[in-house]
Amino acid sequence: MKILVCISHVPDTTSKINFTDNNTKFDSNGVQFIIGPYDDYALARAIEIKEASGATVTVLNVGPADTEPTIRKALAIGADDAIRVNAEPTDSFFVASQIAEQAKAGGYDLILMGRESIDYNSGVVHGIVGEMLGMPSISPVMKLEIEGNTAKLAREIEGGKEFLEVNLPFVAGCQEPIAEWKIPNMRGIMSARTKPLKVVEPSAVDSGVKLQKFELPAPKGSVKMISPDNVGELVTLLKNEAKVL
């Protein structure tokens, strides 16, 4: 079985977000980058499947050269090889088009992604790729078991979950508790250095969206503290000041 895992390279979840160039560029100064947390679940599940029943796991990232440490980390966690499409991931449609092209060429049985990237949070790349490849797409997936040519999945819905069956190949956007995040060990880190990482150039895509500018939310006002002995005051404030009760 061949599994493709698409990983985004995103600011660490504790990062402060800032912009430069008149609010048109992300300020990466002092920011640590990680594998997208949801993508990390997808990767962990792919490695589990590989360990249980044999599979090759390829990781794919659409990004410039500075995403390579993130890709190497995925190799250290246990992926066999990697592809980097050498381009800025400007928008979902562009990224999905590049992924679809690589996926077609590679002939994968299973394409795993995160439910959403934590920079753009669109939650759409898997759906677009599914449509482009004419495959089912399922997200957000919290459980995935493969039995021969079929998969059994659980998908989270508001207030619960639903259980599904689908034949391979398909695209899934993953989230916890599909697997536990894996931490690379020393051997993994050593072997990752020599695993193949193929760099390919993007194909031209006519994107329908164009970023104009970024904006930061207004800073929060200061907190009003209320004595634990006067809980009634909180109720009064919520009623008369905040007007939310």
Ligand X SMILES: Cc1cc2nc3c(=O)[nH]c(=O)nc-3n(C[C@H](O)[C@H](O)[C@H](O)COP(=O)(O)OP(=O)(O)OC[C@H]3O[C@@H](n4cnc5c(N)ncnc54)[C@H](O)[C@@H]3O)c2cc1C
> What is the Cα gyration radius of the chain?
21
13 binds ligand X (CB under 6 A): yes
* Among the listed residues 181, 209, 232, the one whose alpha carbon sits nearest the alpha carbon of residue 73: 181
Rounded CA gap, 67 and 100, in Å?
A: 20
78 versus 114: smaller Cβ distance to ligand X: 114
Rounded to a whole number of angstroms, the minimum distance from the CB of residue 37 to ligand X is 4
Binding mask 119-138 for ligand AMP (x = CB under 6 A): -xxxxxxx------------
8 binds ligand AMP (CB under 6 A): yes
13 versus 236: smaller Cβ distance to ligand X: 13
Q: Using CB distances below 5 to 8 A depending on partner kind, what does residue 224 bind out of other proteins, ligand AMP, ligand X, none?
A: other proteins
Rounded CA gap, 76 and 45, in Å?
A: 15
CB 50 within 8 A of CB 66: no
Rounded to a whole number of angstroms, the minimum distance from the CB of residue 33 to ligand X is 13
Rounded CA gap, 45 and 1, in Å?
A: 14
Other beta carbons within 10 angstroms of residue 136's beta carbon come to: 16
Binding mask 84-113 for ligand AMP (x = CB under 6 A): -----x--x--x-----------------x
- What is the token pair recorded at 147? 């039995």
Q: How many residues are present in the chain?
A: 245
Rounded to a whole number of angstroms, the minimum distance from the CB of residue 57 to ligand AMP is 14
Which residues ranging from 20 to 59 are in contact with ligand AMP (CB under 6 A)? Answer: 36, 38-39
Q: Using CB distances below 5 to 8 A depending on partner kind, what does residue 118 bind out of ligand AMP, other proteins, ligand X, none?
A: other proteins
Bridge partner list, 59: 5, 82
CB 23 within 8 A of CB 215: yes
Binding mask 168-187 for other proteins (x = CB under 8 A): --x--x-xxx----------
Which residues ranging from 20 to 79 are in contact with ligand X (CB under 6 A)? Answer: 37
